[in-house]
Amino acid sequence: MKRRVFSGIQPSDVIHIGNYIGAVRRWVELQENPEKDNIFCIVDLHALTVPQDPLVLRDRTLELMALFLAVGLDPMKSTLFVQSHVTVHAEGAWLLNCITPIGWLNKMTQFKDKSIKQETILTGLLDYPVLMAADILFYDTHEVPVGEDQKQHVELARNIAERFNYHYGETFIVPEPMIGSYGARIMGLDDPTSKMSKSSSHIKGHAIRLLDDPKDIERAIMRSKTDSGSMTDHAPEIRFSKDIEKAGVNNLLTIYQVLTSKSQEAVEQDFANARGYGDLKKAVAEVVISVTEPIRARHSEIISDRAELERLMKLGAEKARAISEPRLRDVKHKMGLSL
């Protein structure tokens, strides 16, 4: 039996190199693994938990579908679909709401972080992890490949699955979060002590977006924050380090490591004779551009065929419904709803 993999990404902004390294790039690898049955979802209902411009959101959803294809996700090998096209997610979230203690949601660190930034905190923002649990659980998912920031949400989905199974009998598979050993938390280039995030990607120099112009990518990396070592007369040591002072260098080395698929030792060897951080930044910019340029070129071709993208979204939604609707019926029946 193949192991079911489910993951998702919000269409709230063009995806950045953190999303790519922490999640999407790993999805492309999983797709080639014959032991996995992969489902990747554009979670537009999650995007609504903070204010969105409707026209922009719709465009971004289509743009993200094109980006899925441009990075190498293949609708013939994986199920690719838009969350709101399959009503199981919203309906399933309601059912799970009715067994989830509110105290579990109040503890979510992402809710605390995001709500500080909002003038009005919407109910959907608090409920966001229950919708995410519905995404995962109604597909009988075994593995959830995500970046570090989503680990707590996957753990909540596990707790919800266990609670349901306890009250209504063995129903949901209890899913495992799959966090990469490297690159699960790419930091902002402007501030390497905080995570690179879509909500800050409008800030100049914070993120590298997959569709950015090579000149902008180079500029952002060349200006990225390292440490005061760059001011000394001696060439600074360029090594992986957990030292907070070296977080910027560590972040650049991590991006370089993941994108070149080299070991830490081989990466440090590449920079053993570097004259300074400028050499490191130049090398990172080159590697990032060599990865993003072909994606950008493919994306601009794919996005021009809107009808084909819409056809693929419909196809994906049909496949997704065929998997999740039987589980929804089962859960409704167990909870006492008349079918």
**Binding to ligand TYM by residue 77, rule CB under 6 A?**
no
Told to judge if 198 belongs to the known catalytic residues of this protein, a careful annotator would answer yes
Q: Does 147 bind ligand TYM (CB under 6 A)?
A: yes
By the 10 Å C-beta count (0-12 exposed, 13-18 middle, 19+ buried), 176 is classed as middle
Q: Is 23 in the site for ligand TYM (CB under 6 A)?
A: yes
**Rounded-to-integer distance, Cα 157 and Cα 43, Å:** 16
Of 329, 328, 318, which is closest to residue 39 (Cα–Cα)? Answer: 318
Decide if residue 9 touches ligand TYM (CB under 6 A).
yes
Total site size for ligand TYM, rule CB under 6 A: 27
Residue of 36, 112, 117, 195 with catalytic role: 195
Q: How far is the CB of 6 from ligand TYM (least distance, A)?
A: 5
93 interacts with ligand TYM by CB under 6 A: no
CB of 274 to ligand TYM, least distance (A): 25
Q: Which of 188, 208, 227 is closest to 285 using CA atoms?
A: 208
Local structure of 339: helix, strand or coil? coil
Binding of ligand TYM by 196 (CB under 6 A): yes
298 in contact with ligand TYM (CB under 6 A)? no
User: 59 vs 237, which CB is nearer to ligand TYM?
Assistant: 59
Q: Which residue is nearest to ligand TYM (CB)?
A: 22
Q: How many residues does the chain have?
A: 339
- Give me the residue label for tokens 């063995």: 170
Q: What is the DSSP string of 179-197?
A: E-SSSSSPBPSS-TTSB--
CA distances from residue 305 to 63, 76, 312 in whole angstroms, order as listed: 11, 18, 11
Site for ligand TYM contains 6 (CB under 6 A): yes
51, with CB counted inside 10 A (0-12, 13-18, 19+), is exposed
C-alpha to C-alpha distances, 258 to 25, 185, 253, 266, nearest whole angstrom: 10, 12, 9, 12
Cβ closest to ligand TYM, residue 147 vs residue 248: 147
Of 4-12, 225-233, 278-286, 323-331, which segment contacts ligand TYM by CB under 6 A?
Answer: 4-12
Closer residue to ligand TYM, CB minimum distance, 176 or 268: 176
Q: Does 146 bind ligand TYM (CB under 6 A)?
A: yes
Q: Which of 78, 150, 250, 251 touches ligand TYM by CB under 6 A? A: 150
CA–chain centroid gap for 14, Å, is: 11
Are the C-beta atoms of 194 and 187 separated by less than 8 Å? yes
Catalytic residue IDs: 114, 195, 198
| Contacting residues toward ligand TYM, per CB under 6 A | 6-10, 18-19, 21-23, 43, 46, 132, 135-136, 144, 146-147, 149-150, 153, 184-186, 195-197
